[in-house]
Amino acid sequence: MSASPPFTLDRLVRDVADVLYTEPSDVSLEEDLLDQGLDSIRLMSLVEKWRAEGARISFVDLAERPTLRQWAELLTAAP
C-alpha cells in the first residue's frame, strides 16, 4: 500500500465533477457542494467509491462538512 493517500484535492475535484456531469474547473473548493448540485444519492456514490479504495469516512462525515477543501482535510487525515 502506498504511503501517500490517493485522495488529493485535484482527485476529489475530478470525482465530484464526474458525478455532477461538469468540468473540474466549474467545481468550487469553498462553496457548499449541495449548492453546486450535489444530492444525497451522488454523495453516497462518492462515499462508496472512496470506501472501496480504503477511505474511512461516512456519509455523515462528508454531509456535515460540505466543501471540497473540508473533504480533502478529512480524507487525508483519516488513518
Instruction: Map out the domains of the chain with their CATH numbers.
Output: 9-77 (1.10.1200.10)
The pLDDT of residue 6 is 85
The pLDDT of residue 2 is 46
pTM: 0.88
The whole-number mean pLDDT for each consecutive block of 10 residues of the chain, a chain of 79 residues, reads 68 96 96 95 96 93 95 82
Can you give the chain as a three-state secondary structure string?
A: CCCCCCCCHHHHHHHHHHHHCCCHHHCCCCCCCCCCCCCHHHHHHHHHHHHHCCCCCCHHHHHCCCCHHHHHHHHHHCC
The pLDDT of residue 65 is 95
The pLDDT of residue 79 is 56
